[in-house]
Chains A and B, each alone.
Chain A
């Protein structure tokens, strides 16, 4: 049995190609059954996300699944096989295992360390399991891939830091306040990024989101989205006394929050720390505000720098993660080889057992009637002989499974004991 992975990802194929090849989730069961029915394919799984479409199959040793899987992909997307072929990559055996481990551990992702891929891969595995197209070989590789991903997460810092601006803002808020539960945030002005940051804040436990905007209708609409409260734009500074996080993204051409404003706010809130995020260009908040005690002002460049630092950190962590993956691949190979020996060992034991039974039957005529004690003694002697005989070859097989001499040994033992294929 051998493993192979064929597919496209964000590196080999542009988004137009990926979306063309992506599998419709509703029809996935049909595609899985179709894949399983391909000649030579023993097991199969389809992983389809926005950044990759991959097909993992376990096939007979003698069979090369490359052509049939590529053809299957082309057929499923109703595309020309030649056109699809130029974007495909293909991994076999050990490389395929390494690739699956890397994908699960998010080392092959566009944003290294992003956590979604593991969930997507698990969903793909569940779907294939439900259709019965994954069992035994592929099953053991995939479940191992999931635990490798877990190990990488816990032993490296790969997923620890925020790599998007809106999430970096939330991470910073956590470094300032610890827990965000019970805290209040205010959005000054609207914008995609501030909306995203507000969503993250809400999810991290922020109690209430206030919204203010030059257009009161827009403020009311936004407030509704976050089940928050709209605040009058002209007097929003007076509301800051009870607010811990401020996200400014208004289109105002001048500062809407000055150092003097903030000095009064901080005195009113008895210096409780406050986090100001200014993602507007031109900036909404006077930069000198950061000089006040207990005020932390970050603008869009600061956040982007934090994100870049984090990305760099993730790339460094990825190197450590790669070591873990390599180590796990080696272990997996050993395990799979040992597993391949199992049918041979069982066959050998059965062969010896049937020889023993045949010999006892033949001798029984000459021995005449036997007492139960004598029966027992013969049973024990013959069993002892075959166990001792089998011990050497079996332990040699297990040991050889790890090394390159495995295949010739399997061959010799088959011939020696007349085991056939």
Chain B
């Protein structure tokens, strides 16, 4: 049975999820959506996170960094506090788009220390896995569109800068249209990949306890997701466009392909 510390950690993760919703909605709509509400939820989440850590500290008699899960929890908490401080001091809201999802996923992983009883219903297990796979596929499709649009953007930007006339065959959509497409594709792709990551992690947690967490393949998928998060952040805060954005989106696409390839043999890892 998980202790009270882990219970508070799970509640904190649920509250951090409000911040995730904010980040996704903001990425898709290109303007801050329900920031105040998610900031409140995030703050309460951080408080409960602290409660969880203090309980564990008292129980263990030292700072709880004995294993991957405990150190992950401490790290996530530090990031949450860092963000709250920066926001209080500098009002730097765009950082939330980057840090809210990061803290949420880290806390979610940290809350998976104690294995739960495995699937009681096989069809739930199947449906869960199917949802994960479908979300990943849809997410990759959106990232592919983003990467293509980024390359088109780069080509069209070069043409306009070099002042070459558009010929009939090389006529691409206007930069503004491509920019919109990139934003939408990236926002939707990120939302789908995040949901897929959450679905995949919880599925693996129920399926095979905690062993999978150390697998390199899992690390690759989390890395892909983090790259995606980074791109959203760089576009929103620094307005990355053109060459940098094209390179980043192609990197993400490559990393997605690697993740996919790595997952071909994952079933063996997951077997109990």
Contact = CB atoms under 8 A, between A and B. Distances in A.
A179 interface: yes
Interface residues of B, number: 23
Contacts of A305: 163
Contact of A176 (B163, B165, B176): B176
A176 B239 contact: no
Contact of B174 (A178, A272, A294, A309): A178
Given A157-B168, A271-B239, A272-B239, A174 B161 contact: no
A305 B165 CA distance: 9
Interface of A: 157, 172, 174-179, 269-273, 290, 293-294, 296, 298, 302, 305-306, 309-310, 313
Contacts of A302: 163
Contacts of A177: 174-176
A419 B174 CA distance: 68
29 contacts: A157-B168, A172-B160, A175-B156, A175-B166, A175-B174, A176-B160, A176-B174, A177-B174, A178-B173, A178-B174, A178-B175, A178-B180, A179-B176, A269-B239, A272-B239, A290-B161, A293-B241, A293-B243, A293-B244, A294-B157, A294-B239, A294-B242, A296-B160, A302-B163, A305-B163, A306-B165, A309-B165, A310-B165, A313-B165
Given A271-B240, A293-B241, A293-B244, 4 more contacts: A178-B175, A178-B176, A273-B241, A309-B165
Give the dominant DSSP class at B's interface.
helix
B238 interface: yes
Nearest to B167: A313
B238 A271 contact: yes
Nearest to B180: A178
Interface of B: 156-157, 160-161, 163, 165-166, 168, 173-177, 179-180, 237-244
Nearest to A296: B160
Given A174-B174, A176-B174, A298 B163 contact: yes
A275 to B, nearest CB: 9
Contacts of B168: 157
B242 A176 contact: no
B187 to A, nearest CB: 16
Contacts of B175: 175-178, 273
A176 B157 CA distance: 8
B168 to A, nearest CB: 7
